Structure 1
Amino acid sequence: MNSNDRSIVGLLMLAHGMVHTYELSIPIFVTIWLAEFDVIALAGFEVGVTQATLGLVVTAGYGLFGLGALPGGILVDRFGSRRLIAACLFGMGGSFFLLGVAPDLVVVTVSLLLWGLAASVYHPAGLTLISKGMRARGTGFAYHGAAGNVGIGLGPLLTAVLLLLFDWTAVATVLAVPAVLAGLYALRAEFDETAAVEGVGTDGGDPRAEGGVDSLSEFVAESRLLFAGAFVVVFVIVMGNGLFYRGVLTFLPNLLEGLPGFDPVPLAAFVPGIEAGAERTLRPERYFYAGLLLVGIAGQYLGGKLTDHVPPEYGIAGVFGLLALLSLSFLPVAALGIGPLFAFGAVFGLTLFAAQPLYQAAVADYTPAGTRGLSYGYTYLGSFGVGALGGAVAGAVLTYADAGVLFGVLAGFALVASAAAVYLVVRD
């Protein structure tokens, strides 16, 4: 990587880690909200809190995380990545400050909506910056993905550790501070956002390497152009990924609570002098969850490096086929005990996160540089917007059926994504 590449990847590793720190700390809070709140009360109406209703609350925030990616992608093409990344970081910090003073689930919901809106612009901004600013694109995707998984794993781990000492509202407030500091850094970092595509379109290259969307008619025209080609198949892949990802992670700590070996352990057993109580216990499921996500660091790096050596379609087909098999194996392996489940969790985490850089590279391969922000906007509309429904699906299945049915549904999502990738291979 050259100096411009290093400057870009440094900022994006920091920002990507922040985004996923907040995203994956939310399921840790879900287990607390299920125990702390009995009803959601708004305008005289009250709804009981269950996995289904809380799944809808979380889906609302995660949904905006994806839905906002499309307008965010349009803004990236017009105004560049730096401003939107800084706004994203400041907005996420503000939303967690609000979460820290939330007296009920209504304010919790508002906080999650604001977080989703702020976070939604990051992926189109960050991935456009890699694809247009970095010459070592595959390495950029690899480091970017790995940094995201540092946040994905360390965010929940830090949250779980802080919850040993503080109330959840205080923990949310503490978590808000790093995003504000990262936002200040984003305003000062120096780099060329278009170093990798300079001259393209002026010397016989892609004539759409420059530009963006200036009007509704251009938006419609560029969208039609994208979906008239193979990008529509890539969009199916990212929707399948999003539904699987959100469906398996939203309630994973809650699912693990009832398994053998995951009983709460009083903190007093490890720290003499501390009185054990409801909030003074080690919750093994939180640390298993964080560990599974940390393993994803290697998965992201592996997936990113694979894009430099094999067509992403082949990798996508294999990874999602394996995820389907692992989903169907989750409960049978869990029945063998906590040791086999830990080993299985490492494989699961590695595979789950290897998929992301592969489909990110596929988007770059099947879209023009000039509307790359729009392309990644649609990508994260599918992955995190449509994909957010995975949390609602998981909550409903767990409320009205059981975990076995849930993992069967998740396997179906993975098989659809794998089949779409196989279609791209055959088509090419």
Structure 2
Amino acid sequence: MKSSSNGLLTQVSIAHLVSHLHIMTVPALLPLLPDAMQVSFVELGFAIGLFNIVSALVQAPLGFLVDRLGARRMLMATLLLGTVSFGLVAIFPSYPYLLAAMILAGLANGVYHPANYSLLSRDTPSSRMGRAFSIHTFAGFLGSALAPPIMIGVALSIAPRWSFAIAALAGLVAWGVMVISGSPLPDRRPDSCIDEPRKIETRPLTTPVMTLAVLTLLFTLLSLSTGALEKFSVSALVQGFDVALPAANLALTAFLFASAFGVLAGGILADRTDKHGYVAAGAFGLAAFIVVLVIRVPLPPIALAFALGAAGFLTGMVAPSRDMLVRAASPAGAEGRTFGIVSTGFNVGGIIGPILLGFLLDRELASAVLWAAAAFMAATTIVVLLQERRSHIKSVMAS
């Protein structure tokens, strides 16, 4: 069973890498698209927001559909849809087609989290769950990290439309890998292979509404804080801090790659502690401090890359603990719908953040972009600490 679980983890991780590459395609090209498409940052922010609006609307229903139709089948379909969406912009590189592509890509994005986490939660032993989540999330963060150098490199070497073609090709390759590899697991897992902690009778039938609300708020704040750096830090650094585009892109790449490796460290930590809330709060508090340091102290390119890399490592450490918190709140057999509901927080943040930050950049308030990132990180720290305290009080009362 271990080899089949590893095969599934590989397929799911490849799909997650592609999903994050797709998410970061337009943000990675933000410094170039205003001239290439003759649009403003607010209009590009609206395009990114549209992607997240669609994902927010469909993610919870698709979570139920994943549980009903099968996660792997849905995952393969969504890879093809992502390929079509970015292929559309490659063929017709204009703003109206970009908006159409963002609608299709947003629909595709709504499947990834419910499907991936449903597969991993069902078919990974509890003793290795934290590490499995961390490998899966590492792959996603790696996709984000690869986007800026690939997309900017291709756009500068040839044209931005070819960057969208590369994004489309990545989805098609991932789909082909899943077809060739075949399903590593049966449609239904034998009862004898189910870990004891995941038996339905030991779990509540429903997740409390308040818990879902707090977790959704947490995902929203995570999206706002990391999204400000992932999607807008390059433009902010170039516009407001006199940082050259290559140096700013290097700093973002350091942030994203360090985030990916922070996920691996966080996965090991997640399996060794049940204080997931305190891990998340401590990491985000330190990351907020580093962002403030970047704002207040002029740094040479290498120091800037190290600083944002440290912030990325800390924010990456949070991801496995975040996923373990959601899994703990999910009834057995309902992981798809639970992750589908709380993951809409990512989309809510993805709707608000790009339009707000694009507005700030259009008004040449570049430093406010980084201040917003630090403020959202501080808010995340507070929410996680309050939730941890609430959970502690409930456990004391229950005992």
Q: TM-score, normalised by structure 2?
A: 0.88
**Structure 2 unaligned runs (5+)?**
393-399
CA 1:398–1:167: 2 relative to 1, 3 Å: closer
Separation of aligned partners in 1, 2:48 and 2:379 = 25
* Shift in Å, 1:139: 1.5
5 Å-filtered alignment, 1:8-23, equals 8-23=8-23
CA 1:299–1:257: 2 relative to 1, 3 Å: same
User: 1:173 maps to which residue?
Assistant: 165
Among residues 264, 285, 294, which one is paired with 1:321 in the alignment? 285
**What one-letter code is carried by the residue in structure 2 that aligns with 1:98?**
L
Q: Superposition RMSD on alpha carbons, in Å?
A: 2.7
**What one-letter code is carried by the residue in structure 2 that aligns with 1:89?**
L
Quick one: percent identity of the two aligned structures?
22
CA 1:178–1:57: 2 relative to 1, 3 Å: closer
CA 1:193–1:409: 2 relative to 1, 3 Å: farther
CA 1:261–1:254: 2 relative to 1, 3 Å: closer
Residue correspondences, number: 386
5 Å-filtered alignment, 1:227-306, equals 227-258=208-239, 262-263=243-244, 283-306=246-269
Q: For residue 191 of structure 1, give the secondary structure of its aligned residue in structure 2.
A: coil
Q: For residue 273 of structure 2, give the secondary structure of its aligned residue in structure 1.
A: coil
Alignment of 1:156 onto 2:156: no
CA-to-aligned-CA distance 1:248-282 (integer Å, 9 cap, x gap): 32222211223667436xxxxxxxxxxxxxxxxxx
Separation of aligned partners in 2, 1:358 and 1:403 = 32
5 Å-filtered alignment, 1:1-400, equals 2-38=2-38, 49-135=39-125, 136-187=128-179, 188-192=182-186, 195=189, 205-207=199-201, 225-258=206-239, 262-263=243-244, 283-311=246-274, 312-333=276-297, 335-400=298-363
* Shift in Å, 1:15: 0.7
Separation of aligned partners in 1, 2:378 and 2:59 = 25
CA 1:415–1:126: 2 relative to 1, 3 Å: same
Q: TM-score, normalised by structure 1?
A: 0.83
CA-to-aligned-CA distance 1:65-118 (integer Å, 9 cap, x gap): 343321221111111210111011111111111010224211111112211111
CA-to-aligned-CA distance 1:328-348 (integer Å, 9 cap, x gap): 222123x13223212101101
* Shift in Å, 1:198: 5.8
* Shift in Å, 1:362: 0.4
**What one-letter code is carried by the residue in structure 2 that aligns with 1:351?**
L
**Structure 1 unaligned runs (5+)?**
39-48, 211-221, 265-282
Q: Retained in 2: the 8 A contact 1:64–1:113? A: yes
CA 1:103–1:15: 2 relative to 1, 3 Å: closer
Q: Retained in 2: the 8 A contact 1:160–1:287? A: no
Q: Retained in 1: the 8 A contact 2:8–2:185? A: yes
Separation of aligned partners in 2, 1:12 and 1:362 = 20
Q: Retained in 2: the 8 A contact 1:64–1:385? A: no
* Shift in Å, 1:240: 1.0
Q: For residue 359 of structure 1, give the secondary structure of its aligned residue in structure 2.
A: helix
Among residues 367, 370, 381, which one is paired with 1:418 in the alignment? 381
Separation of aligned partners in 1, 2:224 and 2:248 = 22
CA 1:140–1:193: 2 relative to 1, 3 Å: farther
Q: For residue 178 of structure 1, give the secondary structure of its aligned residue in structure 2.
A: helix
CA-to-aligned-CA distance 1:393-425 (integer Å, 9 cap, x gap): 211233346233333332332222222221232
Q: For residue 232 of structure 1, give the secondary structure of its aligned residue in structure 2.
A: helix
Q: From the two aligned structures, give the one with the greater helix fraction.
A: 2
Q: For residue 184 of structure 2, give the secondary structure of its aligned residue in structure 1.
A: coil
Larger Rg: 1
Separation of aligned partners in 2, 1:360 and 1:70 = 17
* Shift in Å, 1:161: 2.3
